[in-house]
Chains A and B, each alone.
Chain A
Amino acid sequence: MPQWTVEQVLALAPDASSASAGKDLSNPVKWASSGCDSRAAWGEAKGSGAKPYQTSIDLAEPAFKCTCPSRKFPCKHSLGLFIQFAKGELSNGDAPPWVTEWLDKRAGKAEAAQVKKTEAAPDPEAKAKRSAKRSENVLQGFEECESFLMDSVRQGLLANTSDRAWKQMAARMVDAQAPGVARRLLDIADLIGVGPTWVETVSARVGRLYLLIEAFRRIDTLDADLQAEVRTQIGFNLKQEDQLGAEYFPDLWQVVAVANEVDDKLKIRRSWLYGEGCGKWAMHLDFSVGNQSFSYLLSPGTAMYSAARFFQSPTPLRVALEEQVGAPFSFKKAQTISQSISSYATTLAKNPWLAVYPMLISPARLSRIDSSWFITDEEGLSVPIWPGFKLELELLAVSGAEPCCIFGEWDGHALRPRSAWGSWGFMGL
């Protein structure tokens, strides 16, 4: 059974108010009864109903169940109970019948799902047919998208500064089953007319998008890894098992940074990891919809023992993680800007659609020219900080401008800092 920390439990909260309410409910006086065993934790919380809410946690996953009416998941009662468990405040005992019943039901369901999975072997012929149909749809859509891009540069990007046409084309790409291209078009729509250098930014994005369309047209001429990358970029949803490489990397993975993004109702969590033994950078993606919590507990500034499998790509970064066991963060690695940039250039040559690249600068210092901020390494080289980043002063306040490790996402032009650590501790940015 993994060891949980309060921070890890709080990272499961669907929002800040749930985390806060969970902390308040971690007070044992708010519980009529509670306990735990090797499989589960349970408790009866005093609530607004006539009967107390019955809360149970399956510690193996973890999975939660609570009889309260909250739509948030996990609810504040589950979080409050889990915090008590993490603190070791729950006494061991025999699970009450409502807990064992739930656990047995879950075990039954998992078994049934496994049987279904093994029984339902895919029909390779039907699969190939579906894939060919999808490719045809995408290619048809790309004909229209290419004409649209050509028309845009024929008329000139300055001729039409409305984002409407770009959004319409994005909607067309969704119909053509190319959601990855649709996302790129929406990104371009958001950049039209924004800032003094928008024409250059949009030109760059348009150029890369065109290369992606061209690559898909010639996909048969590409090697297998690049084919997989192009399909991923276009938005082909393949089964995770089909995309994963065969090799496992059991290692001590340092969780260097976690970046949260929201795309409509979908929350995306991008965690950056570094394998101590293999010396590889890895990125783990986790998704959640609405008020649901993320499936993985990766807190920045912690570490874990886990076996990672990289997704197929010419420049493997994305990983799937096996069971994790927590460990303290202890990341010490010196890296200069020139080493990072050179590594980025090599990677970009293999994968032209690389959006962001993990960059560590250590030891690093914050520097500035007027109001523009930079990160400078021990060789005196500097890279600009992404202009949308607003936490330079927080970092200065905490670090006191002492040389430290700064980790960020490099996009080829600027670095977006995601975390920093030094003698003063760890800071997520």
Chain B
Amino acid sequence: MSTWKQLATQAAVGTKKVPINLDPSLAGYGEGNQEKQLLASLGLSELMQCAGFEPLTSGPKPVEECPKESKPICLKAVQPLKEAFENNLSPAIEEWLELAQRNDLVAPPAVLTLLLDLGSKSSKLRELVRAVLGVRGLWVAEKNDAWFYVFEQQPKVIGTFDEFVALQRIGHKESRQFLTERWSEFAIRLKVRILQEMRLDITVEDEPFLEAALSDPNKDVRLQAAKMLQLIPGSRLVKHAWEAARPCVTYQRSLLRSKMVIELPRSTPELVRDGFGDYDPKKVKGYGQLLLEELVSAVPPSNWNRELRLEPTPMLDAIASVAEKDVLTKALTIATLKYKDADWAEALAIKHSFERTQLVQLLSEARFEHVMLELVQSASRLPNPLESLHALCDLGRAWSPRASLAVWHVLEKYLRTQSKFLYEGQYLRRFPLHFHPSVFPQIDGAKIEHERWPEIWIHWAHVMRIRTELHQSIQ
């Protein structure tokens, strides 16, 4: 043991328990007092250690240099990106990531670790982060286990479920062959879980397999198989559901007043086998409405357009006057999302707030702009449009210049009428993250007497500057 180690051990244990035994070179200090001797020796020995420090001559391996970057690096984005990170402006960062990916640009080295950390926290952004990392980013990611998600091409195959998921990523044929060969060995819970997972790549080819699963001895497996069959347009089950649903909803035309007439369905053994209304009608309140919802949500919403010769918007207007309006709206929304019907998505998003964020994801840019303009117009008719306008920030899509201006005009008009700051601050903060940058020059806080909301306008100016710089960095 070295002198220093001996002294430190002595100090740890105490001279009371173990009498001091000093190196002769140190014994002269401390005027014969054990503790003083030890204290002085500790000080001197520490100094000698520092003064005699010997660097390592072998062991540490220098990190190999990073290979050259092949793509252009977006160096102008360093400052605005750093500011966006400091201010937690995630939507602005996401927006920049999308722009950089679209322009095939690589993130600047100074923000690579911030982006890699962002990706490790948000699985939603991983693809975008991965796309802008470039050679340098991938090279850095290798150095930290927390960033290994970057290299995750295939999930690790741990058990049967993971095996299925892995095969699913390779191809539909491979995963279904695996199911046919091994299905009988699987436990009930595993069967249900795998059936659920099939929603990701279900095709019409899965119908025979799922039809067979409808005869499974276990009810949970049957129900799940039925749910999956509902996802296959044109499947026998969907046709069956349509046959049952069609007579329930009729539209009576007359010169004076056309109206929607609803007749609630009744359960049949065939419907129960297909997973519809599989519960006791006597025990379940509103059984007929529940079954109607299940049937309508199983069939493509466009079927109703053909059947009733009604476009989505007039049909929703007609539904608004029937007792089952909530049930039908919910069922049509589920069906719209299932069949990805853009016409219905547009009509529903304008009329109802239920699942609006999901619905607008089905729309083209032009249709989304139309929905935005309609919603802004509705908000403008309210005494306080702020909450409705603020809800537009949650739609998860970029606002067009026209939609941004529409929002700004309604907002400006409303704020002009306000005499003092109340709870509006919390709503106002998010808007500059969503306005299209091309309209920033037209947004001037001073126009609406910004003295009443100085902090808010400084925040707006700050966010708008960062977003403008992020956009300019791409050009």
Contact = CB atoms under 8 A, between A and B. Distances in A.
B11 A203 contact: yes
Contact of A206 (B11, B137, B458): B11
B256 interface: no
Contacts of A348: 47, 50-51
Contacts of A153: 10-11, 14-15, 35, 38-39, 42
A25 B458 CA distance: 8
Interface residues of B, number: 65
A81 to B, nearest CB: 15
Interface in B94-109: 109
Interface stretch (B62-70, B123-131, B171-179, B217-225): B62-70
B436 interface: no
Contact of B39 (A149, A376, A397): A149
A63 B304 CA distance: 75
Contacts of A393: 113, 140, 143-144
B61 A396 contact: no
Interface string B136-169: 1101100110000000000000000000000000
Interface size class of A (residues with CB under 8 A): 35 or more
Interface in B3-62: 4-5, 7-8, 10-17, 33-36, 38-47, 49-53, 55-62
B446 interface: yes
B83 interface: yes
A86 interface: no
Interface of B: 4-5, 7-8, 10-17, 33-36, 38-47, 49-53, 55-66, 83, 86-87, 109-110, 112-113, 136-137, 139-140, 143-144, 446, 450-452, 454, 458, 461-462, 465
A413 B47 CA distance: 11
Nearest to A25: B458
Contacts of B44: 207, 211
A384 B59 CA distance: 11
B452 A48 contact: yes
A382 B56 contact: yes
Nearest to B455: A48
A200 B8 contact: yes
Contact of B43 (A208, A338, A381): A208
Interface SS of chain A: helix, strand, loop or mixed? helix
B13 A158 contact: yes
Interface string A196-230: 00011001101111110010000000000000000
A72 interface: no
Nearest to B460: A24
A369 interface: yes
A156 B40 contact: no
Given A381-B57, A397-B109, A204 B454 contact: no
B433 to A, nearest CB: 16
A394 interface: yes
Nearest to B45: A207
Nearest to B41: A207
A349 B16 contact: no
B40 to A, nearest CB: 6
Given A24-B458, A156-B17, A394-B113, 7 more contacts: A46-B450, A46-B451, A153-B39, A203-B7, A369-B59, A397-B112, A398-B109
A337 B55 contact: yes
Contacts of A368: 60-61, 63
A24 B462 contact: yes
Contact of A48 (B12, B35, B454): B454
A372 B60 CA distance: 9
Nearest to B65: A401
A62 interface: no
Contacts of A394: 110, 113
Nearest to A214: B40
Contacts of B41: 207
A21 B458 contact: yes
Nearest to B140: A397
Contacts of A204: 8, 42, 46, 49
Contacts of B87: 20
Contacts of A21: 458, 462
Contacts of B17: 156
